[in-house]
Amino acid sequence: MNAFEWVTPKDLKGAVSALSGDSAKVLAGGIDLLCEMKEGLVTPSHVVNLKSIAGLNQMVGRDDLRIGALVTLTELAESESVRSQYKAVAEAALSVGSPQIRNVGTVGGNLCQRPRCWYYRDVAIECLKKGGDRCFAEDGENEYHAILGGGPCHIVHPSDLAPALIAFDAKVEIQGTSARSLPLLDFFVLPAVNWGQENVLAPNEIVTAVTLPKATAGWKSAYYKFRERESFDWALASAAVTLRMSGNTVQDCRVVLGGVAPIPWRSKEAESALKGKTISPALAEAAGKAAVTGAKPLKHNGYKVRLAANVVRIALLRAAGLEEA
Ligand SMILES: Cc1cc2nc3c(=O)[nH]c(=O)nc-3n(C[C@H](O)[C@H](O)[C@H](O)COP(=O)(O)OP(=O)(O)OC[C@H]3O[C@@H](n4cnc5c(N)ncnc54)[C@H](O)[C@@H]3O)c2cc1C
Ligand code: SF4
């Protein structure tokens, strides 16, 4: 690991100012950042410790729920208000890694973690994302890569939390030289827009919180994740669904997939297939198929198309309280 200066700002202003220097990086729980530093993937001159700033670890709200960036995944998964009002978010948080990772990993860090593409993680390989001139996954070992929204880089976004938060129309709060807030869906960027980074953050910007709108009665939700290794693993495909039901009819819904695209993938096609219809196993299957409309698998990940459709189907049945077919 390279030598770096350890910065412990007392407030956000100090953190933003420290990030404005050369190659500084934000540290939250440190799970991903320290791995990247040990591997030599990033060599920051300054590491800015967010934990020295008071208040970022708070979860507050009567109507909206404001979740500070330093709230841990365990705190989120165990929160009574999250479990009762935003079930899919609690399920997604609980599905992350192992208990040790959830105890240390934070909401902000989970949303900003870097991709798991094995070419990206190999310090010796300079792929497109790291400033090189080609994507090695395109014609290489691409069984874990994107089937939707890929190109010219084909990563999948690794966060479990992001699809679930987006399914509840979460907003993200960002602090730089000024503060801004935007829908979490718009926080993430496709490689076609910027293949060098996964989100819209400028180098001196920090995620300070995520806000969930007031939970309204009648919404049901579920997060379902399929992974290769049951003990702990990132998603091969996952789906967060929220349903506003009137009896058995879907009035409104959100369907957001994880593990299949470079960003959390909201499927308007699946949502259109569901709206105004009576929920049933056949409808869930049709919506699952609609969710993978336009999928373009690479040589080794064709299996993900059927898998993702099934993951959506199962998430829908779970949210609706129907037996899993
Ligand atoms: C073995 C293993 C299994 C895992 N399994 C899963 C899984 O199943 N699902 C899943 O979703 N994740 C998984 N992860 C990833 C893990 O959840 C994330 O690494 C963790 O949540 C990152 O949180 P952190 O607070 O430690 O972030 P850090 O490591 O501190 O930061 C991660 C990145 O985000 C940036 N950052 C952190 N906080 C902020 C902020 N507030 N504003 C701006 N930038 C910020 C940092 O600069 C860094 O680039 C796994 C990790 C490991 C090691
Ligand atoms: S998918 Fe992206 S990160 Fe992976 S090799 Fe291609 S350009 Fe690099």
Average pLDDT over residues 71-80: 98
Q: At which residue do the structure tokens 């819209």 appear?
A: 200
The percentage of residues in the chain with a pLDDT greater than 90, rounded to a whole number, is 94
Task: State if residue 114 touches ligand 2 by the CB under 6 angstroms criterion.
Answer: no
Task: State if residue 106 touches ligand 1 by the CB under 6 angstroms criterion.
Answer: yes
Task: State if residue 153 touches ligand 2 by the CB under 6 angstroms criterion.
Answer: yes
Q: How far is the CA of 127 from the centre of ligand 2 (A)?
A: 6
* pLDDT value for 153: 98
Which of 25, 27, 31 best tests ligand 1's pocket when mutated (most atoms within 8 Å of CB)?
Answer: 31
Q: How far is the CA of 106 from the centre of ligand 1 (A)?
A: 7
Average pLDDT over residues 212-238: 93
Q: Are strands 219-226 and 237-246 parallel, antiparallel or unpaired?
A: antiparallel
Global confidence as pTM: 0.98
Q: Contact 37/1 with Cβ under 8 angstroms?
A: yes
Which of 35, 110, 114, 223 best tests ligand 1's pocket when mutated (most atoms within 8 Å of CB)?
Answer: 110
Beta strands in the chain (DSSP E): 5-7, 24-27, 46-49, 59-60, 65-68, 171-175, 179-183, 206-212, 219-226, 237-246, 249-258, 265-266
Query: 216: pLDDT confidence band, cut at 50, 70 and 90?
Result: confident
Task: State if residue 118 touches ligand 1 by the CB under 6 angstroms criterion.
Answer: no
Query: 191: pLDDT confidence band, cut at 50, 70 and 90?
Result: very high
Residue 225 DSSP SS3: strand
Task: State if residue 105 touches ligand 1 by the CB under 6 angstroms criterion.
Answer: yes
pLDDT at 325 over 60: no
